[in-house]
Amino acid sequence: MISVSPEKFCAAFNSSIIDAIADGDNAFALPDKEATIALRTRFFPRIAAKLGLHSYPPQDFYTIDAVFYEELDLVNFPKGTYPKSIAVAIEHENLSNRSHEEMYKFQLFKAPLKVLIIYHPEGMLAVNLLTKFEGIILESGYSEDLITRERQLVIIGTPRTAKEWRYFVYAQDGFRELAT
């Protein structure tokens, strides 16, 4: 199975943004529901391809907005409806004040890399959000898994403009910002 590090995901994410904008496709500037559809159908497949993976068809996978996988399980599911395993699980939330619900949901699922993409007003500190996320992770009882077997990545962008992106990965002492 292909393993995707948070750093590798961030590189593919950044590269995909540059490609999409060069193609005149700024899904982030669309109204919320339209942006989510555009991300699922156009943007997430770009990222998956850069990682050597596939993006699950443009609908939820057990309430997860998107999953990236290497291959489908055609032995047990000949119609090709289920991935053999999930390499990356992605949640996209337009409203940062509801993002803690997505973080909670992530703790119910197993995936080597879980990515939460949210928007937070420019200039506002994301510390309160990250502190809330840390509390959810610690209370879940699975924080050790996020250090040893899984990774949790939070990507925070500015609403509508998406001109500034910050990347935070969960580590033993809480979230730390990744340099990009």
What's the chain's average pLDDT?
86
Between residues 58 and 46, which one has the greater pLDDT? 46
Type of residue numbered 130:
L
CA-based Rg of the chain, rounded to a whole angstrom? 16
Q: Tell me if 162 is assigned to some domain.
A: yes
Q: Tell me if 1 is assigned to some domain.
A: no
Asked if the model's pLDDT at residue 107 lies above 80, the reply is: yes
Between residues 78 and 37, which one has the greater pLDDT? 78
Asked if the model's pLDDT at residue 57 lies above 80, the reply is: no
Q: Tell me if 75 is assigned to some domain.
A: yes
Query: Rounded to an integer, what is the distance from CA 19 to the centroid of its chain?
Result: 18
Q: Tell me if 127 is assigned to some domain.
A: yes
> What pLDDT is stored for residue 50 in this prediction?
96
Q: Residue 119: which residues within 8 A CB-CB, separation 6 or more?
A: 93, 94, 95, 96, 156, 157, 158, 159, 160, 162
Lookup: tokens for 169: 């990965």
Confidence of residue 125 (pLDDT cuts 50, 70, 90): low
> What pLDDT is stored for residue 160 in this prediction?
65
Section 86-111 average pLDDT: 89
> What pLDDT is stored for residue 54 in this prediction?
95
Q: Tell me if 34 is assigned to some domain.
A: yes
Asked if the model's pLDDT at residue 124 lies above 70, the reply is: no
Asked if the model's pLDDT at residue 16 lies above 70, the reply is: yes
Distance CA 6, CA 111 (A): 13
Lookup: tokens for 55: 């993006």
Q: Tell me if 173 is assigned to some domain.
A: yes
Section 119-128 average pLDDT: 73
> What pLDDT is stored for residue 31 in this prediction?
77
Section 133-149 average pLDDT: 79
Q: How many domains does the chain have?
A: 1
- Category of 95 on φ-ψ map: left (φ > 0), alpha (ψ -120 to 50) or beta: beta
The CA-atom distances, in angstroms, between 103 and each of 20, 54, 111, 140 are 27, 23, 13, 10
The parent domain of residue 93 ranges over 6-177
